[in-house]
């Protein structure tokens, strides 16, 4: 007697079903129609009708991460780890764990990590666990997530390596007793980093409120740094911003990782191009496309040698000697 196998909505279709913030325009093109795709939990060979995207999964215990015929976000995060780049995967995790539109997160970081640790052998598991090291809960907008990634990610992923950042921390002033939320906060140095959105900070009332807020916090010993879109999108502005923030937290940005160049341009592509594909290793990163942090010139020479080897001999393994 044959037992009917249940199929479950998965992948991008499941992300759309759970209404993950900034899915279209951030992770997928805004005008794309996301096709349905399903997964069946079996180790048998199954018939795949033409025009239907159907996957099979033989990992024991994976079927419990489903609800009402749809894979839940912890399992979908693992599925997308096999599809997305590491930068898009981190951004996806930040959106899943975000508090956007005053709503609670769709899923917690703990739930994502628990699923990834449990389902040994699942495709993309290693990348998912790597991404989870840089995912935090509490982002309230996509721009806060981008700013966090630029500052928090390690040099090997194109970031500045400032590891003590927290999302939307509650701050109550002692003198006035007012409650504020810091977009990004470094508690050890009482540093507040605010992203000034064009939508909410472009009128006189908002401008006055922000100035009063900044003055009140400064009077209590907090450092307040405001960031606008141009400071992320323009290389020379970002360089000045990053060095200023790093000096305030007692960190020196010195680039030693050859992968910094690929990682930084991937971040810029994610910010400026949204859902369009980040550049691949087949496209060379030019020197003027990265900020001139300490060490960049020397490491760029190493990167250029490595890129030429990869470009000229794509089928060979990339072996680098250390710089003299």
Q: What is the mean pLDDT of residues 216-229?
A: 91
Percentage with pLDDT > 70 across the chain: 90
Compute the C-alpha angle 125/161/195, nearest 5°. Answer: 100
Nearest Cα to Cα of residue 97 among 112, 79, 118: 112
Q: Is 228 exposed, middle or buried (0-12, 13-18, 19+ CB in 10 A)?
A: middle
Nearest Cα to Cα of residue 145 among 82, 103, 95: 95
Of the listed ranges 83-87, 114-118, 193-197, the least confidently predicted one is 193-197
Nearest Cα to Cα of residue 130 among 148, 157, 170: 157
Nearest Cα to Cα of residue 95 among 116, 82, 117, 80: 80
Q: For residue 66, give the H/E element and its range.
A: strand 66-67
Q: What is the mean pLDDT of residues 276-282?
A: 71
Tell me the two tokens of residue 291.
Answer: 């900020």
Q: Looking up tokens 């400026």, which residue turns up? A: 272
Neighbours of 286 (CB within 10 A): 11
Q: pTM value?
A: 0.91
- Which residue would you say has higher pLDDT here, 212 or 240? 240
Q: What is the mean pLDDT of residues 14-28?
A: 93
- Per residue in 303-323, pLDDT (tens digit) is 999 888 877 765 555 444 444
Q: Is 244 exposed, middle or buried (0-12, 13-18, 19+ CB in 10 A)?
A: exposed
Q: What is the mean pLDDT of residues 270-290?
A: 83
Q: Looking up tokens 């721009």, which residue turns up? A: 143
List, edge to edge, every strand of the sheet that includes 66-67.
Answer: 53-57, 37-41, 7-9, 70-71, 66-67
Tell me the two tokens of residue 313.
Answer: 């001999």
In terms of DSSP bridges, do strands 37-41 and 223-227 run parallel, antiparallel, or are they unpaired?
unpaired
In terms of DSSP bridges, do strands 166-172 and 70-71 run parallel, antiparallel, or are they unpaired?
unpaired
Of the listed ranges 68-77, 121-130, 166-175, 270-279, the least confidently predicted one is 270-279
Tell me the two tokens of residue 68.
Answer: 């009402």
Percentage with pLDDT > 90 across the chain: 68
């Amino acid at each position: 007697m044959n037992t009917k196998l249940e199929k479950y909505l998965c992948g991008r279709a499941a992300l759309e079903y759970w209404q993950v913030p900034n899915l279209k325009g951030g992770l997928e093109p805004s005008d794309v129609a996301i096709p349905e795709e399903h997964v069946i939990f079996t180790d048998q060979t199954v018939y795949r009708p033409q025009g239907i995207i159907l996957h099979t999964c033989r990992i024991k215990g994976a079927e419990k991460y489903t609800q009402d015929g749809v894979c839940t976000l912890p399992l979908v995060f693992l599925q997308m780890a096999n599809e997305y780049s590491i930068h898009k995967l981190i951004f996806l995790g930040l959106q899943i764990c975000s508090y956007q539109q005053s709503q609670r997160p769709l899923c917690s970081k703990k739930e994502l990590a628990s699923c990834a640790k449990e389902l040994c052998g699942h495709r993309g598991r290693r990348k998912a666990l790597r991404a989870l090291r840089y995912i935090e809960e509490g982002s309230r907008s996509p721009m806060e997530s981008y700013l966090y990634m630029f500052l928090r990610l390690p040099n090997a992923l194109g970031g500045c390596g400032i590891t003590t950042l927290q999302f939307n921390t509650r701050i109550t002033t002692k003198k006035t007793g007012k409650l504020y939320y810091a977009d990004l906060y470094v508690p050890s140095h009482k540093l507040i980093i605010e992203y000034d959105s064009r939508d909410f900070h472009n009128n006189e009332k908002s401008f006055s409120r922000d100035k009063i807020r900044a003055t009140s916090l400064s009077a209590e010993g907090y450092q307040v740094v405001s960031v606008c879109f141009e400071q992320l999108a323009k290389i020379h502005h970002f360089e000045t911003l990053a060095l200023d923030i790093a000096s305030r937290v007692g960190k020196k940005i010195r680039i030693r990782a050859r992968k910094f160049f690929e990682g930084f341009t991937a971040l810029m592509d994610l910010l400026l191009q949204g859902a369009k594909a980040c550049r691949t290793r087949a496209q060379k990163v030019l020197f003027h496309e990265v900020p001139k942090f300490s060490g960049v010139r020397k490491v760029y020479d190493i990167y250029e040698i490595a890129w030429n080897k990869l470009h000229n001999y794509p089928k060979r393994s990339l072996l680098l000697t250390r710089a003299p």
